[in-house]
Each structure stands twice: as structure tokens, then as C-alpha cells.
Chain A
Amino acid sequence: GEDVEQSLFLSVREGDSSVINCTYTDSSSTYLYWYKQEPGAGLQLLTYIFSNMDMKQDQRLTVLLNKKDKHLSLRIADTQTGDSAIYFCAEVYPGGFKTIFGAGTRLFVKA
């Protein structure tokens, strides 16, 4: 079936690293996204990883993909209060149009 699962909440202190986890179900997914949603704002693509990659680093963001376990994680280094938002994991099916989102992880950053 189609399902992307994420833990609902994460709370960290400013300056610490945050790790948001996600599991997905479809092994034929071509790539996986991390989107960020701030209150009153649209979804913003943070980063993505192709399904044939294990890791991708982009400034403070590190994405790890474990294809065997269908597990994806997003690590945010030196988390700032401005990183407080909802983070969505999503998988994209072959063809590049049907995208399945998780329910989102709410990240709270304490000053």
C-alpha cells in the first residue's frame, strides 16, 4: 500500500542537531523529498535524494537513505529557532507525478 510514516513531534535545543525520520513503502519510488512548511506559508522543497543514492549533504542538511529498510532521515546541524516548522517526507512514484506525503514532523526549537 501507499504509506509514508513519520514521528509527529521533535523538540531540540538551539544549536543541537535535529534528526527527523521517515519510513516509506514503495521500493519503486524514484526519489524522495523533504519539504518544510511554516505557519501560513506554502510548502518549500528543502532537499531531495534519488533512490540510487545513500547520502546527500547540502549545507546544514544531511539526508540518509537506507533502501533495504525503506528508511529516510533528515539531519539538521546547528538547529536554529528559524528551523521550527513542520517537515514532510514524500516519495515520488516513477513518472514523477504521484507524490505521497507523510503526516509531517513538527520540529520545536527551544532557545
Chain B
Amino acid sequence: DTGVSQDPRHKITKRGQNVTFRCDPISEHNRLYWYRQTLGQGPEFLTYFQNEAQLEKSRLLSDRFSAERPKGSFSTLEIQRTEQGDSAMYLCASSFSSTFVEQFFGPGTRLTVL
């Protein structure tokens, strides 16, 4: 499978715990995006990388959230001191820089904070 993969697919955690999600983009894609999707809503943009550089962060990304893409390939999204409001589907997408930017989405990681 050469699509975008995310791990884990599901995560249940207790409030206050830290969680980390991983995204593996399509190999030749240099852009990587993180989104959050809550029930009944569309994906909300969180952050974006071009290669290893994080170029844009949404104000939705509080201080408890951090994302990295250390070698310009896979990315991690960490949430510290999780809150019940963090429960959502976290989506990763990747694309290749070009005039038309089609983002390819992964299946998502569903986070449930108890």
C-alpha cells in the first residue's frame, strides 16, 4: 500500500495522559498536513510542514500540542495532558509541491479521552 498511513488507528486514554500519533506520508510527497475532525464537522486545519520545516500552525493548536517532522518524512503529533475536548479524529494528509496541490488523506487516528 503506497497511501498515507497513520498509527495507531484508535487510541483510548485517560484525561491528563500524553499521547503521540504517527503519520507516514506518500514517499515522494514533501508537504504534510495535520487536521482534526470532530463528529459532524469537517476537518479543521492544524499545521503544515514543507519537508522538515513547520510553516504554519493554526490557533487551534494550543501549547499542549506539538508536531514534528524531523527528517522530512514521517511526522508525529503529540498531545500533552489530554483533555476530554481533545477527543476527535486526527487526520494526516500529504501532497507534492506543484501548481495544483491535491492532498491525499490517511485513514485517521481516533482519539477518545475518558
Q: Which residues of A contact B (CB under 8 A)?
A: 4, 31, 41-45, 48, 88, 90, 92, 96-104
For chains A and B in complex, what number of residue pairs have CB atoms within 8 angstroms? 53
Extra A-B contacts (12), CB below 8 Å, given A99-B103, A102-B42 = A42-B4, A42-B105, A45-B103, A90-B42, A96-B95, A96-B101, A97-B48, A97-B55, A98-B48, A98-B56, A101-B42, A103-B40
Number of B residues near A (Cβ < 8 Å) is 27
A98–B45 CA distance with the chains assembled, in angstroms: 7
Interface of A is mostly: strand
- Contact check, B106 vs A103: say whether CB atoms are below 8 A apart: no
Please give me the 7 A-B residue pairs with the lowest Cβ-Cβ distance, nearest first: A101-B42, A96-B101, A43-B105, A42-B105, A97-B48, A42-B107, A101-B43
Q: Which of B25-80 contact A (CB under 8 A)?
A: 31, 33, 35, 40-45, 48, 50, 55-56
- Per the bound structure, the CA–CA distance linking A4 and B50 in Å amounts to 25
Q: Could you mark each residue 83-113 of chain B with 1 if its beta carbon is under 8 Å from any beta carbon of chain A, else 0? A: 0000000010101010011111111100000
